[in-house]
Structures are given as structure tokens and as C-alpha cells.
Structure 1
Amino acid sequence: MVIGSFKAYDIRGELGVSLDEDIAYRIGRAFAQILFQRYQQASANQDSELATLKPAIVIGSDIRHSSEELKQAAIKGIVDAGVDVIDLGMTGTEEVYFATSHYAALGGIEVTASHNPINYNGLKLVKEQSKPISADDGLAEIQALAESGQFTSSDKSGALQLLTDKSAYINHLMIFIDTDKLKPLKLVINSGNGSAGPVVDLLTDKLTQAGAPIEVIKLHHTPDGSFPNGIPNPMITANRAATQQAVLTHKADLGIAFDGDFDRCFLFDETGEFIDGSYVVGMLAQAFLNKYPNESIVYDPRVIYNTEAVIDAHQGEAVISKSGHSFIKQVMRESGAVYGGEMSAHHYFRDFFYCDSGMIPWLLTIELLSITGKTLSELVTGYINAYPSSGEMNFRLTTNDAPAIIKAIEDKYRSQNPSKTTLDGLSLDFGDWRFNLRASNTEPLIRLNIETRGDQPLLADKIQEIEQWLAAQGAMPA
């Protein structure tokens, strides 16, 4: 059979079309068989860290109604492969990242579709030490085995253990801040009826126990797989209104919102203004460099001016990486970077196994607000004024393909002799402004980001110029 739900970095598909319980079983079994064979080879050779691991796979699932059934199907596949399973219950993706390393497991699976429509679901996979698995690093092998069904038989079934206690994970999150430095703050936290609610409760309890003067207004807090307030995706402008209004109504210092599996964190200032992810990257880079001078910071090439300026001003080492979690994590491991950030609201931390977390960013933000005595708008306004940007704009392709459009726009600006990089799509830098144009990995879209050095009128002019040019190429705003 052909399983069409495999993507570049994970597995995601429409229920009953490209993802069902049989497919989840096949994926679980293939994943377990491949990881267990690697473990057995390492044990026989006695020359690998793999041999020190526990021959088990951790698994969790989000709140979607289909997630538990898919998880149970994957569990059956794993135990039929003769590998033990640690079931974490209902979790966010970062809990699987944590548990994979905490329990020294062979790998981990989170059943989630994050912010995708309600008729979708998926599986995110990691191997030992919470390392990502991508199409060119194991995922294609898993797909081939799952599709062929040529599984090896096992002498015994794996054992299943239910471990839903989150204490170790919560305690680990708390190492990122000094609660003694926290000042009185009022927060609005919108969990989007996703998986974040229970973790928010545990974290706010910890803050209270530590004597932190933090007041929390919880919005859309109860996990509910029917998503009565819409799919939790704060990247959609219309989905921000509830958080923005609550910040204003309660006169809060900060608004926080999550997607369904809370691996992304979105921030709103005290006026209810949504803070673009690229400026959050700069803010967190500054927070880490204040604590850890001269460390490396990893960032993606879509929007760079502000991040590079912050890193330079605080004597950090700037390390650029192609966007996408597998690339960011690899570059962070290679450079030993303390923090990595993407404008898409993914934030990665060396002390969280080089993985992304949606909970650590807001904890760091309340610490930074407390230490500086500034509001969030005061912290980021300087960034925004110094390096205004368009935010990511998506254009749906109607005629030309993405490579043709990217080549044509390079030709259009060639005479202006911009500096050029192709690390991730096409980036052209003209000195006082730059843009990045890249193709989506999963949809017939191209994504555009434009930024300038302190020149808002120039930004507006270039947005209009490139939008009109793209329209002439058959690429219309999505």
C-alpha cells in the first residue's frame, strides 16, 4: 500500500483518506522495528550510546477525538514489534520530547495534527535523545517498511506502561527562570481548548508555591477535541481576537496563546498587540545572552536584521540555519547554541534537549519583564522601529510553479546587484532592505518576507511592488 501522509518532517493526513488506525499500526510497528534493530546492533557491538538506552518508545497524544484511537493502534504496532511502550496519556509534543530523553528511550511519538483542520491528524517522531527524524534521515525508511508490511516477527510482545505523571517535566521547565526575580504580573493564557491546559495549571501552581506574584486569567482552557472556539492557530489573524480582548478587559501585562499541541508560543503585549515571531526571537536572544555571554544563537533566514543586531549588540555568536525544526536542531547541536528561534513561533533550547517548547518562552518573558521593569511593548518597540518587517505573506500559485517564480524575481532584481543567499529559498539584500521568497514544503504556496533598516515607507513601497509583480506571475494572496 502507499501511505500518502508522510511529509518532510512528520506524518500528517486526512482521516479516513491518508491516515487511519491501520496506517498508524503500520507506522508504529515500522518505527519500533527499525529503532530496535539499531539498538540490537549497537548492543552487540558495545560501541554506541544506543546500547545504554532503554528498549522502549514513549508515546503521547493530543486532545483530538481521533488521537486516542490512533495512539492505541500505534501502541499495538510497537508491542507487536517486541518493543516496550511508555504511554504518557494526553500530552503536548514537547512532553514527548522531554520523556524520550528523560526515560532514555529509543524514541518517541506524539499523535497530533497541531493546528490543522479537525478532520486531520498526524504523528511526530523522534529518535534517541529526542533527535528529529526527517525524510532523509530515517523517515523514508520507516515509510518504506510501513508500506511494504514486511515486518519481522518477534518472540515476545512488548510491555505497556502508563506513566502520566508530569512532575519531572514541570520541574525541568522551572529551571529556566529564577522565581525570586518575578514581580507582580497579570497574564492572559489562551490554551485554545488544546492540550496546554493541564500543563498551564501545573506551572501556575508551581509559580504560586514559589511565592511568585503572578495572576493568571485562563481562556479557552479546558481541553476539548471538538474545539468549540475554533482550531487553535494564532497565526490566523481572526483567531487572535479573543486573547487581545481579554488582555484589554483584564488590563493584563501579557497575553499568551498556543496552538493545539503547544509546541509554539504566541505573545501579545499589554495593549493587545500581537508580537511578530521574529521580534520574539530577538527578545529571547537578548534574554539568553544577558545570562550566558558570548553564546551562540541560531536563527532562520526569513527575517534577520533585528536578530543579528541584537546578537551583535550583546556579544553573541550569530549562526544562521535553514528554517525547519530538523535543520535548526542539527545546527544547534553542531554549534552548541544556547537558544534557537524561528519567526514561526518555534523556540529551541539547549537545556531542553535542543528541542522546541511552547512553555519556556512565556516563562522567560515574565522573568524578563520583571527584571527590566519594562512592558512588553517597551521591550519590542525599539526592535520594530529599527527593523520594520512585513510579517510572512503567503501567495497561492495559480499558473507558474514556485522555482520559476523564484528564478524570475532573481532576474528582475539582478541589475541592482543585491547580495544573494539560497540557504532557504531566495534571499536578496539591497543594503537598506531585503526579502526572502521560499516555496512551501506542503502546499502550493510561496512565502514572502520583506524587511528594512528603519524605513517604514520603503517597506510599504516594496510590499506593494513585489505583491503587484507576484500577481502578474499568477501568485495571488492566500
Structure 2
Amino acid sequence: MDKKLFEGYDVRGIYGKDLTEGDAESIGRAFGTLFKPGDSIIVGGDARTHTPALKEAFIAGLVSSGLNVVDVGLVPTHVVTFEVLRRGASGGAVITASHNPAEYNGIKMYLGDVPLSSKQMAVVGDAALNGKFRSSAQGAAVAEAVGEYYDDAVAQACKLGKTLRVVIDSGNGACGPDARKIFARLDCKSEVLFEEPDGRFPNHAADPHKEATLDALKKRVVESKADLGVALDGDGDRVAFIDENGVKVRSDDALIFLLRHYLSQGKGGSVAYDLRMSNAVPDEIKRLGGVPVLSAAGRTNVGGAARENGALVAGEQTGHTFFGDFYYHDDALFAAAKFCQVLSLSSKTLSQEVASIPKYLASPELRLKVPAEKKREIVAAVVAYIKSEAPKLGGKVSELDGVRADFPDGAWGLVRVSNTEPAITCRFEAHDKKGLQNVYALFRGKLSELGVDAPASF
């Protein structure tokens, strides 16, 4: 077992190579040390072919630490966290690699319904790698179905103002069956593509953040004259939206669409967003009397910032969305239902709503492949360079997450380490083409010098 398994927000690796059943059992025993003997843990898993074996081993580790486990079977991640709250459990875990390809698997772990922090993940990693386990009387494991408590809660919270026609692409992930039931309860005219959970992901990768995975959904939205399309990832923590013309709604615009709803009620409040998102987000929050809360990238960081600041809503560039009125879980199905509710209250189409949002020139999020063992070293070199050069151009430098430089003309650039892939991620934005070219050139020059293949344009 490699210590790199514990460097991200959760455990993630290639099944049989980076992550085996023996590893899963050790991680279960290590995770168990965070709880008291007799505590209750909710465990579920996604649709991957190797999830049942890893889940069985992980549960064995928990039980050997004296914990009582409720195995809720094949469910989206947010159903586990919902059940933790409903049952009053001490924690939860999900065997999943989320949006990663089929050969990957992993483990998401929660204290209560809150994901482990990086410090807590380090404690689990140290215990798993060094055998720092607890000797205890055996706990017990039972398998129980979750019922429809979650579906009922979402349907109750997201009643529509009018009927919408919606196409949902579950990508053969864990959300398909729940998606059909929930959208039927919302009185939508709904259709679910690739509904059957199949961990081989035979139709396309279950990652709606990647534009190429959305082709079938875009086509079907237009063909069926739907009001919108919804794309869900493998474990239901990422969501993307398609307008009635078959065009993807940018994550920045999706968050602005939602925050307008919450802040339009005139009560103020905060909205959290990650530092990869457009400056249009904080500009709109302030225009509507809200308080913008900038967060480091990543679901645990944005969700943590939302909880700490009591945010009304929060969003992350890759499609994780959090709601103060629904437990701050990054729950793609709730996000989709809430998005539909907000759209149902508007007299405009989704494309018209998006057209009303201010737009700045921006790159897509660039994910530049680098060797996993060198990604932190590369980013450290870029940080040192930008700290030296950006102030000469009037730039303000932040090291909240990697390095971000903001310039007086509104341009900004960001380079950071990806926590889930052997890559570094970058984004750039400006108010005009020249500003965008200049800020990109500043960063790209150093990246090229370090041997990183950054595109000449985007």
C-alpha cells in the first residue's frame, strides 16, 4: 500500500494494483480507530465490478475494530451521508472512485456526515500503513435497504412551479434508479438515459465535467424538445446541465443561476465558490447584496467553507454543489432537483437565463498531465516564479491553493495540483482577449520551461 493513496480527499487508485482487498481491510481497521467501540457506521458502494469485494473487506476491518456496520448496498454517495444523519450514525463510508474510469476504485470516509479533513486522512493513512490498529471485541454487520426516505426528502424540498420536460443521463452510475423515481415525484416529464448501474460504464465515462461525455444527452435534449438536460457522475456527487438548445451550462453560470434565486429573497447571506471559478461569481454575489466566500478547490474545501460560513449555496468548478437547506452534502440529485425548481419558477428558458449572466473571456479548466511524483514539485516551481514576476506587473498573488495571480485589468491565472489525478490544473480569465493572452503567456512560459505540455491556445 502506497502512502500516495492518502494524499487526496479520499482513497483512490487502480483496483488490484494500487488498491486491493487487503488494503481495504487495513483501511477499514484504520478508519475504525477514529471511533469508539460500538459506534455505528453506514457503508455503501457504487456500481463498479470490484466494489462488492472491496466493500466486504473494508467492512471486515471496521467490524474487527469493534464497530457496528449497516451495509446499505449499491447507492449514491449522498444517500450514505443522508442515512448517517437519519439513523444518527457516528460515520459513514462509500466504496467508489466517483468519476474516474472503470479500472479505478476508492473509499470516501466521513465523520458524521462530514468528509475527512486532510489531517484526519493522514491519521488514517498512518494507521493503515503502520498497522496502528485497535484490539477490540468484534462488532457486527447487517445489510439493510434504505427505503425511500431520501427520495421523499428531495421531492418535498423541490416542488416545481410548473411541469418541465427533463432528460437525465446517469451514465450507468449509481444514480439511475433514484433519478427516475425522484423526477417522477417532481411531476416532470422525464427520461433517463443509461439508467442501469453498470460499473464498466459501457456508454461513456461517468464524468459530466468532461464535455465529450455529454454528446448523447445533448442530442436527446434537442430531439425531445426538453427544457433541460441533467448529467450525473458515477457516485452522484457531480452534476452538469444542458440547456434546451443542447449547450452545456458552465459551472460558473450554473452557480450564478442558483445563487440569484437564494439572494433574490433579499435576506442577504454568503455564497462559497472555488478559486477556479469566474470573477463573474463574486461580482454577482456582491451585486445582489451577498457575501462572497473564496475557497480552495476541491469538494472538501468548498463544502467546508460553506458549512463554516453558513452559506446559502456553494459551487465548485467540476460540478460539486452544496446547499444550506439540504445538509451541505455535495448531492448531484438534490442539485438537479433544485435547479429544476428554480427554472420552473422562471418565465425564461434556461438559455435565456444563462444569456443574462455577465461573461468574461476564460479558458476551460486545463488538466495538464504530469508524472504523479512530480506534480507538487512542478507547482512549487510555478509558485516561486509567479511570486517573483506577478508583482512587477501589479499583480496580487494568493497561495490559497497552488498559486493565483490577479492583475489590475481584471485578468487572473491559476495553477494548482490536482488531488485526484496525475495532473496539474490551470485556469485563466480576463475582460478582453489581450488580457487573456498576456496572463496565459506569463504562466505558460514557466510551465513549458518545466517540461509541461501546455497548449498554445484554447
The code of the aligned residue for 2:51 comes to: S
Counterpart check, 1:411 vs 2:395: no
- Whole-Å Cα distance in 2 between the matches of residues 88 and 312 of structure 1? 42
Corresponding position of 1:62: 46
For the structure 1 residues 249 and 346, does the alpha-carbon distance in structure 2 shift closer, same or farther, using more than 3 Å as the test? same
RMSD of aligned Cα (Å): 2.3
Q: CA deviation at 1:162?
A: 2.2
Corresponding position of 1:21: 21
Corresponding position of 2:117: 134
Corresponding position of 2:362: 389
Corresponding position of 1:145: 127
Decide which moves more: 28-37 or 66-75: 28-37
Q: CA deviation at 1:265?
A: 0.5
SS at match of 1:99: helix
1:77-128 deviation digits (Å, cap 9, x = unpaired): 2222221111111011111111112211111000001121222100000002
Residues 45 and 51 in structure 2, CA contact (< 8 A), matched pair in contact too = yes
Corresponding position of 1:48: none
Counterpart check, 1:125 vs 2:120: no
Corresponding position of 1:276: 250
- Whole-Å Cα distance in 2 between the matches of residues 3 and 21 of structure 1? 16
Which of 180, 197, 209 lines up with 1:201 in the alignment?
Answer: 180
Which of 426, 439, 442 lines up with 1:448 in the alignment?
Answer: 426
Decide which moves more: 143-152 or 268-277: 143-152
- Whole-Å Cα distance in 2 between the matches of residues 152 and 395 of structure 1? 41
SS at match of 2:198: coil
- Whole-Å Cα distance in 1 between the matches of residues 197 and 338 of structure 2? 25
Note the 1:76-115 alignment, pairs <5 A: 76-115=60-99
Residues 470 and 476 in structure 1, CA contact (< 8 A), matched pair in contact too = yes
- Whole-Å Cα distance in 1 between the matches of residues 326 and 439 of structure 2? 39
Q: CA deviation at 1:465?
A: 6.8
Residues 184 and 190 in structure 2, CA contact (< 8 A), matched pair in contact too = no
Corresponding position of 1:426: 403
* Consecutive aligned runs of 4 or more in structure 1 exceeding 6 Å deviation: none
For the structure 1 residues 206 and 328, does the alpha-carbon distance in structure 2 shift closer, same or farther, using more than 3 Å as the test? same
Corresponding position of 2:237: 263
SS at match of 1:404: helix
- Whole-Å Cα distance in 2 between the matches of residues 388 and 2 of structure 1? 41
Decide which moves more: 403-412 or 104-113: 403-412
Residues 126 and 132 in structure 2, CA contact (< 8 A), matched pair in contact too = no
The code of the aligned residue for 1:393 comes to: L
Counterpart check, 1:31 vs 2:31: yes
TM-score by length of structure 2 reads: 0.91
Q: CA deviation at 1:175?
A: 3.9
Counterpart check, 1:374 vs 2:348: yes
- Whole-Å Cα distance in 1 between the matches of residues 442 and 272 of structure 2? 31
The code of the aligned residue for 2:166 comes to: L
- Whole-Å Cα distance in 1 between the matches of residues 237 and 422 of structure 2? 25
| Unaligned ranges ≥5, structure 1 | 38-53
Corresponding position of 2:11: 11
Residues 303 and 451 in structure 1, CA contact (< 8 A), matched pair in contact too = no
Q: CA deviation at 1:375?
A: 1.3
For the structure 1 residues 444 and 88, does the alpha-carbon distance in structure 2 shift closer, same or farther, using more than 3 Å as the test? closer
The code of the aligned residue for 1:161 comes to: V
Which of 286, 301, 312 lines up with 2:260 in the alignment?
Answer: 286
- Whole-Å Cα distance in 2 between the matches of residues 89 and 64 of structure 1? 12
Corresponding position of 2:59: 75
Q: CA deviation at 1:315?
A: 1.2
Residues 56 and 86 in structure 1, CA contact (< 8 A), matched pair in contact too = yes
Corresponding position of 1:242: 216
Counterpart check, 1:163 vs 2:144: yes
Residues 387 and 452 in structure 1, CA contact (< 8 A), matched pair in contact too = yes
- Whole-Å Cα distance in 2 between the matches of residues 166 and 421 of structure 1? 46
Q: CA deviation at 1:460?
A: 5.8
- Whole-Å Cα distance in 2 between the matches of residues 216 and 148 of structure 1? 50
TM-score by length of structure 1 reads: 0.88
1:201-232 deviation digits (Å, cap 9, x = unpaired): 2202322xxxx3x2112111111122111321
Residues 298 and 339 in structure 1, CA contact (< 8 A), matched pair in contact too = yes
SS at match of 2:345: helix
- Whole-Å Cα distance in 2 between the matches of residues 150 and 319 of structure 1? 38
